[in-house]
Amino acid sequence: MSIVTNKQLLDRGLAGHYAVAAFNTNNLEYTQAILQAATELNAPVIIEAAKSEIDYMDGYVFVAMVRAMAEKLPIPVSIHLDHGPSYEEAIRCLRYGFTSVMYDGSSLPLAENIANTKKVVEAAHACGVSVEGEIGVIGQAEDGPEGPKQEFTGLADPDQCEEFVKKTGVDCFAAAIGNAHGLYKNKPLLRFDLLTQIEKRTGVPLVLHGGTGIPEEDIRKAITLGVSKINFSTVMRKGFIETLTATLNSSPGDLDLMKLLTPARMKMVEIAKHHIKMCMSDGKAWK
């Protein structure tokens, strides 16, 4: 199959009532694990990297790596910038060869977020690249003493979501509905009432960030309300680090790096498969 855009993946997900799993990556083993999991499940998949991850790998190296691995696989794969912090970073990613970029202006006043996102949409769409925006602020789960709650600040406002989509032309956007990145301290209380209104008033595929720790029934419910992309990061890193730690502890003095890394990579394959199945995108790759 080939490298595709997020729009191609998400429009199909929305129509087919499933979400495409998007996994962050920052190295070779991580990327291999995501692609192995998606291939074994015949699932479309999004490989994404935030600015810090891109800086760590180098944008050109990252895109070349994903393309070299994915081009020979029978599944559609998109290469996405996660939480792009600026117009300039989005433009750099267009040059690297990403097929989708996120511009995250969620901490700015709405008018500024709209103006900046629109500029990114104009440039990206001229290159055939999809754009994801953000409304409401999706923070870190560990920031609150008890984790995100009903009264979680920074929730997306449906009026603002409608205006944002109309004025920017984004292909999809992330709405803050009580979700957060990292490890939730308590079960997250997602505001499905808000999601229902946002879906009705925007009509574009919605993105759920902070996928780590969201229970399967909530993932499934979010998908029925228009969520077509779900981001997972912490859960993969946690599995890798725990497995690598156990391997290192049980193999003192072993200097075979490939042998030491393999169990951690295989743990990531298992975790990615579990989350792809939660998103119901297994078997959804097309020819």
By annotation, the residues acting in catalysis are: 82
**Is residue 25 at the binding interface for ligand 13P, with CB under 6 A as the rule?**
no
CB of 213 to ligand 13P, least distance (A): 7
* CA dist., res. 226 & res. 15, Å (int): 9
DSSP structure class, residue 39: H
Total binding residues toward ligand 13P, as defined by CB under 6 A? 14
User: Quick one: which of 209, 229, 265, 275 contacts ligand 13P (CB under 6 A)?
Assistant: 209
Q: What SS3 class is residue 162?
A: helix
**Segment lying near ligand 13P (by CB under 6 A), choices 71-79, 161-169, 190-198, 225-233:** 225-233
**Is residue 231 at the binding interface for ligand 13P, with CB under 6 A as the rule?**
yes
Determine the Cα angle at 221 with ends 220 and 227, to 5°: 80
Which residues fall within 8 angstroms of residue 35, CB to CB, at 6 or more apart?
45, 47, 69, 70, 73, 75, 77
**Is residue 211 at the binding interface for ligand 13P, with CB under 6 A as the rule?**
yes
Q: DSSP string spanning 241-268? A: HHHHHHHHHHSTT---HHHHHHHHHHHH
**Is residue 144 at the binding interface for ligand 13P, with CB under 6 A as the rule?**
no
CB of 190 to ligand 13P, least distance (A): 13
**Is residue 234 at the binding interface for ligand 13P, with CB under 6 A as the rule?**
yes
Q: How does strand 77-84 pair with strand 20-24?
A: unpaired
* CA dist., res. 10 & res. 281, Å (int): 11
**Is residue 82 at the binding interface for ligand 13P, with CB under 6 A as the rule?**
yes
CB of 270 to ligand 13P, least distance (A): 16
User: Quick one: which of 30, 164, 232, 240 contacts ligand 13P (CB under 6 A)?
Assistant: 232
CB of 238 to ligand 13P, least distance (A): 9
| 107 Rama sector, left if φ>0, alpha if ψ -120 to 50, beta otherwise | alpha
Q: Which residues of this protein are in contact with ligand 13P, per CB under 6 A? A: 24, 82-83, 181-182, 209-212, 231-235
